[in-house]
A and B are shown apart, each in its own frame.
Chain A
Amino acid sequence: DARVTQTPRHKVTEMGQEVTMRCQPILGHNTVFWYRQTMMQGLELLAYFRNRAPLDDSGMPKDRFSAEMPDATLATLKIQPSEPRDSAVYFCASGLVTGTSVEQFFGPGTRLTVL
């Protein structure tokens, strides 16, 4: 049963600390998405990659956030330095683009709390 995995599931940190969230997409998927979910803003797209190349990261605060795909099995989202307003649930999703459409399969999320 293939699924997207995310680590850690929960993270509590202090303001100013670096946070790294990891995602393992489903094997064979060529597209990876990072979303942030908050009560106030709902579900926001932060960045997405196709074939490991960033296609759109316009939703991501560039001064503190960075997203990478070191290889096809790992996507990372880093926040440095973290701020209390970054507290949210961060979801990774992966999909396979075949020319018509892509379904996105979501991971369970990383719940981040910045104190």
Chain B
Amino acid sequence: AQSVAQPEDQVNVAEGNPLTVKCTYSVSGNPYLFWYVQYPNRGLQFLLKYITGDNLVKGSYGFEAEFNKSQTSFHLKKPSALVSDSALYFCAVRDGTGRRALTFGSGTRLQVQP
């Protein structure tokens, strides 16, 4: 079975400060890892993915994520938060076989204060 944990329901950060949204995963074999963002009353939008290669993945809107195999983590980061980054963020994992759909975490609400 594959699973994702997002331990924080909400993360609060001041505008201009760095942000981190945590994600840990469990999967058989090599993981495929994703981050999605959901703005109010909208569908999920793809931010970035890790398949293989460099552990630091860069994505849309200045976000990046670091894959750490030993800690089975894939934390989302941004050096300087914007108020417009306030949204719901989902981490997702899939195993490498391709037979399973993505498993999503419960989501973390990011609130960036001006």
User: Residues of A with Cβ closer than 8 Å to B?
Assistant: 4, 33, 42-43, 45, 48, 55-56, 91, 93, 97, 99-109
User: How many interface contacts (CB-CB < 8 Å) are there between A and B?
Assistant: 49
Find A104's partner among B42, B98, B99, B102 (CB 8 Å cutoff). B102
> 9 additional contacts, CB 8 Å, given A43-B104, A91-B44, A103-B49?
A4-B43, A33-B101, A42-B104, A43-B44, A43-B90, A45-B103, A101-B32, A101-B51, A106-B44
User: Residues of B with Cβ closer than 8 Å to A?
Assistant: 32, 34, 36, 42-46, 49, 51, 90, 94, 98-107
Query: Can you offer 11 A-B residue contacts whose CB atoms are under 8 A?
Result: A4-B43, A42-B105, A43-B44, A43-B90, A45-B103, A101-B94, A101-B98, A104-B46, A108-B43, A109-B42, A109-B43
Alpha-carbon distance between A29 and B102 when the two chains are bound, in angstroms: 16
- Hey, which chain B residues are within 8 Å of A104, CB to CB? 44, 46, 102
